[in-house]
Every structure is written in C-alpha cells, then in structure tokens.
C-alpha cells in the first residue's frame, strides 16, 4: 500500500488532507471508515495522480482488508460502481476500474469534487 495525501472538503467546509491508501499491485483504493465521503475521496485521489496506473480487477478473488485481513463483503453500489466493505473496521475498498467509474460519473445530483467546486465558485464570482 502506498499512502497518498489528498485534499478533501469536510461537510463543514474545512479543507483537510486525508490519507488514502493505494495498493501498489492492483492500484485499488483503500479508504478507512472515518476518512470521509468515498466518492469525493476517490475523485480527489485520481485528480492528484500525475500518471494513471494500470489497474487490475480480479473478478474471482475476494479482497481482504489491509487492516485486519478479514474478507471483504460486496456491500453496496454507488452510481454504478461496486464497492467492497470490511465488516470489521468498516473500511471501503475501491478497485481501480470501479474508482475510474465512480470518479467519472457525472450527474447534476452528485456532489462535485472539491477542485470542481472551487472552479465553480471562481466562475460564479462577480468581476
């Protein structure tokens, strides 16, 4: 696991750096339960990358938790992306292909990533 620090805007508007773990083998993302919004963090992590790692997704393999090695349960689907969640520590695993899907889904009802939101705020500012 490589640890990345990515910008994240909390619900109260504070901007913080959150540590996101990225698997050095499959390039999947690991988000701890208290890291924040999975989608915002996934997008932020991908935006921070200078090169896009080739991700792999083994359909057969059942991922294990990098924290406590429990098997992860296929838990929920967010905007068409299937995510795994650890029953023990409630961390979330986002495989690389699912991360791409999650980050690039665009719809009006979806919360924008912090960078996009900042751009929007800039554009709407009166000159």
Q: Which residues bind Zn ion (CB under 5 A)?
A: 65, 67-68, 86, 88-89
What letter does residue 71 receive in the DSSP assignment? B
Q: Which helix H or strand E contains 28, and what residues bound it? A: none
Q: State the Rg of the chain over Cα.
A: 15
Q: How far is the CB of 63 from Zn ion (least distance, A)?
A: 11
Of 10 and 87, nearer to Zn ion (C-beta) is 87
**46: alpha, beta or left? (left if phi > 0; alpha if psi -120 to 50):** alpha
Q: How far is the CB of 66 from Zn ion (least distance, A)?
A: 8
Q: How far is the CB of 122 from Zn ion (least distance, A)?
A: 39
Q: How far is the CB of 72 from Zn ion (least distance, A)?
A: 8
Distance in angstroms (rounded) separating the CA atoms of residues 85 and 64:
10
The tokens describing 118, both together, are 């900042």
Give every CB contact of residue 56 below 8 A, 6+ residues apart in sequence: 25, 26, 27, 96
Of 1 and 89, nearer to Zn ion (C-beta) is 89
Of 91 and 114, nearer to Zn ion (C-beta) is 91
Of 2 and 71, nearer to Zn ion (C-beta) is 71
């Amino acid at each position: 696991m490589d640890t990345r620090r990515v910008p994240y805007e909390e619900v109260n508007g504070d901007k913080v750096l959150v540590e996101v773990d990225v698997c050095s083998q499959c390039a999947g993302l690991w988000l701890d339960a208290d890291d924040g919004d999975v989608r915002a963090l996934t997008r932020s992590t991908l935006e921070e990358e200078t090169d896009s790692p080739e991700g792999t997704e083994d359909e057969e393999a059942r991922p294990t938790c990098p924290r406590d090695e429990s098997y992860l349960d296929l838990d929920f689907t967010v905007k068409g992306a299937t995510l795994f969640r650890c029953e023990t520590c409630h961390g979330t695993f986002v495989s690389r292909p699912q991360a791409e899907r999650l980050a690039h889904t665009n719809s009006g009802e979806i919360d924008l990533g912090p960078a996009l939101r900042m751009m929007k705020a800039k554009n709407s500012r009166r000159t």
